[in-house]
């Protein structure tokens, strides 16, 4: 599935929702804002379609563990918190955003280069076997605790 079709589908679904608002008698300003959001999503779809068409010259692969994605997520969270609390928190999102940009430039691999394969353990870990002394001490401790509880229960 082409990525642009996903974005265009999102824009189409939002357009249907905006059209339904006419039936509920919403204000023109509210419907206009919703249709403006539909237009913005459609423009993003055009950008994605254009970028997807240009990408055929050479694929860029990202490593499995991307630190730049974590920085970008932190920037999005800080920007969102600015809407909830106060606008100056949104300014703090600039620092992880810059870090994500610099880290992305270092993480990007050239076309034709595959990321290093990761090794996955195919056999489950086996628990360590305990020695007979540890088993004896554990059983003695449990028996002592149960015996003390039984004997001490009648003294109330």
pLDDT string in tens for the chain (156-residue length): 477 888 889 899 989 988 888 888 888 888 888 899 999 999 988 988 887 776 555 555 555 557 788 888 889 998 988 888 888 888 888 998 888 888 877 776 666 766 666 666 666 666 656 567 777 788 888 888 888 888 876 555
CA gap 79, 92 in Å, rounded: 8
CA gap 66, 109 in Å, rounded: 12
**Other C-beta atoms lying within 10 Å of the C-beta of residue 45:** 20
pLDDT of residue 54: 63
pLDDT of residue 88: 84
Output phi, psi for 35, to 5 deg. -70, -30
Whether the model pTM is above 0.95: no
Exposed e or buried b for every residue in 19-44, given b needs 16+ CB within 10 A? eeeeeeeeeeeeeeebeeebeebbee
Angle between helices 67-84 and 94-107 (to 10 degrees): 160
Residue reference for tokens 């270092």: 106
pLDDT of residue 39: 92
pLDDT of residue 40: 92
pLDDT of residue 129: 62
CA gap 129, 112 in Å, rounded: 47
């Amino acid at each position: 599935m082409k990525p642009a079709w996903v974005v265009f589908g999102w824009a189409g679904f939002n357009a249907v929702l905006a059209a339904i608002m006419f039936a509920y008698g919403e204000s023109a300003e509210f419907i206009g804002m919703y249709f403006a959001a539909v237009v913005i999503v459609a423009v993003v779809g055009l950008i994605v379609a254009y970028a997807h068409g240009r990408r055929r010259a050479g694929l860029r692969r990202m490593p499995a563990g991307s630190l730049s994605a974590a920085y970008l997520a932190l920037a999005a969270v800080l920007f969102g918190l600015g809407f909830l609390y106060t606008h100056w928190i949104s300014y703090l999102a600039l620092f992880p955003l810059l870090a994500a940009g610099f880290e992305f430039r270092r993480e990007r691999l050239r076309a034709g280069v595959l990321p290093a394969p990761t090794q996955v353990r195919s056999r489950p870990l086996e628990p360590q076997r305990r020695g007979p002394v540890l088993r004896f001490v554990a059983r003695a401790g449990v028996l002592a605790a149960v015996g003390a509880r039984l004997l001490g229960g009648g003294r109330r």
